[in-house]
Structure 1
Amino acid sequence: MTSNWTELGDRCWVRRYPEWDLNIGVVAGSAGVLVVDTHATEAFATELLADVRRLVPGAEVRWAVNTHAHFDHTFGNSVFAAAGATVISHENAAAQLLERGPELQRRYAENPGVDPDFPAIPAEVIAQIATAPLVPADQTFSVAKVIDLGDRRVELLHLGNGHTDGDIVVLVPDADVVFMGDLIEESAPPSYGDDCYPLDWSDTVDRVVGLLTATTRVVPGHGAVVDAEFVRDQGAEIGSVANNISGLHHNGATLEYALRHDEWPYPAEHLAAAVRRGYEQLGGVRRTLPMA
Structure 2
Amino acid sequence: MSAWVELADRTWVRRYEKYDVNIGLVLGSDGALVIDTRGDVAQGEELLGHIREVTDAPIRWVVNTHAHYDHVFGNPAFPDATSYAQENTAAAVAETVAIDVPFSVAKVIDLGDRRVELLHLGNGHTDGDVVVVVPDVDVFFAGDLIEESAPPSYGEDSYPLEWPDTVDRLIGLLSATAKVVPGHGAIVDAEFVREQNDNLGTVANTISGLHHGGTSLEAALAHTDDWPWPQAHVEQAVRRAYATLGTPARPTLPLLGLAKND
Same fold flag (TM > 0.5): yes
Please point out which of 193, 212, 220 is paired with 1:258. 220
Equivalent positions of 1:190-269 (< 5 A) are: 190-263=152-225, 264-269=227-232
The within-5 A match list for 1:160-199 is: 160-199=122-161
CA deviation string 1:65-92 (max 9, x = no partner): 0000000001111111x2x011110000
Q: Secondary structure at the match of 1:245?
A: helix
Equivalence for 2:259: none
Report the residue type matching 1:142 in the other structure: S
Partner of 1:16: 15
Deviations 1:253-288, CA, capped at 9 Å, x for gaps? 000000011120011111111101100111121022
8 Å CA contact 1:251–1:289 kept in 2: the answer is: no
- Matched letter for residue 133 of structure 2: L
State whether structure 2 residue 43 is matched by structure 1 residue 31: no
Structure 1 residue 53 displacement after superposition: 1.8
CA distance in 1, matches of 2:53, 2:59: 11
Q: Which residue of 1 aligns with 2:73?
A: 75
Q: CA deviation at 1:162?
A: 0.1
Deviation at 1:41, TM superposition (A): 1.0
Asked if residue 64 in structure 1 is aligned to residue 62 in structure 2, the reply is: yes
Return the offset for 1:136: 2.8
- The residue number in structure 2 matching 1:118 is none
Q: Where do 5+ consecutive residues of structure 2 fail to align?
A: 254-262
Of the two, which has the highest radius of gyration? 2
Q: Which amino acid aligns with 2:64?
A: N
1:114-143 deviations in Å (ceiling 9; x for gaps): xxxxxxxxxxxxxxxxxxxx2131101000
Distance 1:135 1:193 in 2: 21
Q: CA offsets per residue over residues 128-159 of structure 1, 9 Å max, x none? A: xxxxxx21311010000000000000000000
Task: State the one-letter code of the partner of 1:211.
Answer: L
Q: Distance in 2 between matches of 1:19 and 1:173?
A: 29
Establish whether residue 276 from structure 1 lines up as the match of residue 239 from structure 2.
yes
TM-score normalized by the length of structure 1: 0.85
Aligned residues: 252
The answer as to whether partners of 1:253 and 1:289 remain within 8 angstroms in 2 is no
SS of the counterpart of 2:221?
Answer: helix
Pick from 75, 91, 95 the counterpart of residue 91 of structure 2.
95
| Alpha-carbon distance, 1:54 to partner | 1.8
Structure 2 Cα separation of the partners of residues 289 and 93 of structure 1: 42
Check the 8 A contact 1:252/1:289 in 2, yes or no. no
State the one-letter code of the partner of 2:244. Q
Larger displacement relative to structure 2 (258-267 or 192-201): 258-267
- Paired AA for residue 24 in structure 1: I
* Distance (Å, rounded) in 1 between the aligned partners of 2:126 and 2:194: 19
TM-score normalized by the length of structure 2 = 0.94
Which structure 1 residue ranges, 4+ long, deviate > 3 Å from structure 2?
Answer: none
Unaligned runs of 5+ in 1: 100-133
Give me the whole-angstrom Cα distance separating, in 1, the residues matched to 2:73 and 2:93. 9
Please give the alpha-carbon distance, in whole angstroms, between the structure 1 residues aligned to 2:84 and 2:43. 19
- Quote the residue 1:109 is aligned against: none
Aligned equivalents of 1:39, 1:289: Cα separation in 2: 51
Looking at structure 2, the residues matched to 12 and 165 of structure 1 have their Cα atoms a distance apart, in angstroms, of 27
- Structure 2 contact 216–247 (Cα < 8 Å) conserved: no
Percent of counterpart pairs with the same letter?
63
Q: Deviations over 1:4-61 (max 9, x none)?
A: 00011100000000001000000000000000000001111100011112211x2000
